[in-house]
């Protein structure tokens, strides 16, 4: 296991909604259980793919409580707690620690652009100091294509030096392998998770802890198979297979596409729903996506069994 306690394939679990656009707790719990049953090593709930920034603070707190109260092991949860407001980030982070989460995934405060490393260091340090709990484990969430700001290598090194027992990992969703490999070389003690399974095998060979990937929502067993046998003779073939599936899905708007696949597998049309400003895939788009996946012989149900609607 990585020093951090997390290793393997973690999934930023999709958040299903009812027709009234409230979180569908029962469907969410079923999906989370299915992901773990199919081999996911952990759940990065309230990540980008979870539509976390379309959820209110109270909703996130209530949903985390619901998962834990319904028997999902808290130490397998890495909830996203980073927001633009310091008070909200502290509240979410402290709550996750109290509920026993294995760690938190921390976006930088992303509203203001062009901020300095000093400013971002202060933002993370304030969260850590205000939570004030030795049990806190922080995984930095670097996603500049979306946030437009991120954690530079120099800033990561500074945070790890200042808080070596707290800042223990990073999800690198830059999409830039040179950035991921630079972090791996500079900070071998850090649990590094590429944000796409396209980099999973290369990452493992370079010392990564696994990956945290959106398409784990529909292909958890296939992705986990690469992690489980990355030194084996079939590793390159398996990696090529999961990359093939990923590339089909990412040609569509990612969250609506993953929800369309899940809706088809579960025979539950409401699974297609997203909260505005995101829009669900149209019928023709969804059909094209499913046809393309079928053409390469993939169905979400290939992961042993599709969860019930």
CA pair distance 216, 300, nearest whole angstrom: 10
In the β-sheet with 191-194, what is the strand arrangement from edge to edge?
104-106, 138-142, 167-172, 191-194
Predicted local distance difference test score (pLDDT) of residue 224: 97
Predicted local distance difference test score (pLDDT) of residue 300: 86
Predicted local distance difference test score (pLDDT) of residue 3: 59
Domain ranges of the chain: 8-234
Q: 222 near 302, Cβ under 8 Å?
A: yes
Predicted local distance difference test score (pLDDT) of residue 301: 76
Residue 47 burial (CB count, 10 A) = 29
pLDDT, tens digit (0-9, with 9 covering 90-100), for 101-154: 999 999 999 999 999 999 999 999 999 999 999 999 999 999 999 999 999 999
CATH topology of domain 8-234: TIM Barrel (3.20.20)
Mean pLDDT score, 221-246: 97
Smallest Cα–Cα separation from 136: which of 185, 99, 86, 87? Answer: 99
pLDDT, tens digit (0-9, with 9 covering 90-100), for 258-269: 999 999 999 999
Q: HSE, CB side, 13 Å, CA atoms: give it for residue 188.
A: 4
Pairing of strands 8-11, 42-43: parallel
- Is the pLDDT at 32 greater than 60, yes or no? yes
Predicted local distance difference test score (pLDDT) of residue 309: 29
């Amino acid at each position: 296991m990585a020093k951090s306690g997390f290793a393997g394939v973690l999934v930023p679990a999709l958040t299903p909604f009812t027709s009234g656009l409230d979180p569908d707790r029962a469907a969410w719990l079923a999906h989370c259980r299915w992901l773990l049953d199919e081999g996911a090593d952990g759940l990065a709930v309230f990540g980008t793919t979870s539509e976390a920034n379309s959820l209110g603070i109270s909703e996130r707190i209530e949903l985390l409580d619901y998962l834990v109260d319904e028997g999902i092991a808290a130490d397998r949860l890495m909830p996203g707690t980073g927001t633009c407001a310091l008070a909200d980030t502290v509240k979410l982070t402290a709550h996750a620690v109290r509920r026993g989460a294995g760690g938190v995934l921390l976006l930088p405060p992303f509203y203001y652009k062009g901020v300095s490393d000093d400013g971002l260091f202060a933002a993370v340090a304030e969260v850590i100091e205000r939570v004030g709990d030795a049990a806190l484990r922080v995984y930095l969430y670097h996603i500049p294509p979306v946030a437009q700001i991120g954690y530079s290598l120099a800033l990561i090194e500074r945070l790890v030096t200042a808080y070596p027992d707290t800042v223990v990992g990073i999800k690198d969703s830059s999409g830039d392998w040179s950035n991921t490999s630079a972090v791996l070389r500079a900070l071998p003690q850090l649990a590094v998770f590429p944000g796409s399974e396209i980099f999973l095998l290369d990452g493992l060979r370079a010392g990564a802890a696994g990956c945290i990937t959106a398409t784990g929502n529909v292909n958890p067993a296939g992705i986990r198979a690469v992690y489980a046998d990355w030194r084996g003779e079939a590793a390159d073939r398996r990696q090529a297979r999961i990359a093939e599936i990923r590339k089909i899905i990412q040609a569509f708007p990612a969250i609506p596409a993953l929800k369309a696949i899940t809706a088809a597998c579960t025979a539950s049309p409401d699974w297609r729903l997203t909260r505005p400003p995101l829009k669900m895939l149209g019928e023709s788009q969804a059909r094209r996506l499913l046809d393309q996946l079928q053409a390469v012989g993939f169905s979400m149900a290939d992961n042993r069994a599709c969860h019930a609607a």
